[in-house]
Amino acid sequence: MADQEKEKEVKPAEAKEEKKTESKPEAPATGKSSDQKKKINQLTLAEVEKELKSVKEKMGGFGSHHAEHLLLRKKELTGQ
């Protein structure tokens, strides 16, 4: 019986260690990952339009400062 109790105590500790190692995010192999955010003034027209679509869906409009800056960038790129 004592052996079974020791095994039960060891198993939860091992499970915790496994969870800790699994939850670590993998480091990107290159210096710059594709998920890294760009500054608005470095975005292309396609990227700006994609961001505007995302902002409209998530925030329900273009009232935020982020959306306003995206609209200004779009205006710069289209030459209007």
Residue 6: predicted pLDDT:
57
Closest to 49 in 3D by CA, of 70, 68, 34, 79: 70
**Biggest CA pair distance of the chain:** 81
Q: Is 71 exposed, middle or buried (0-12, 13-18, 19+ CB in 10 A)?
A: middle
Residue 8, both tokens: 């039960």
Residue 22: predicted pLDDT:
56
Per-residue pLDDT of the chain (80 residues; tens, 9 = 90+): 666 655 555 555 555 555 555 555 555 455 555 557 889 999 999 999 999 999 999 999 999 999 999 999 999 999 87
Residue 37: predicted pLDDT:
82
CA distances from 71 to 26, 39, 60, 80 (A): 34, 14, 15, 11
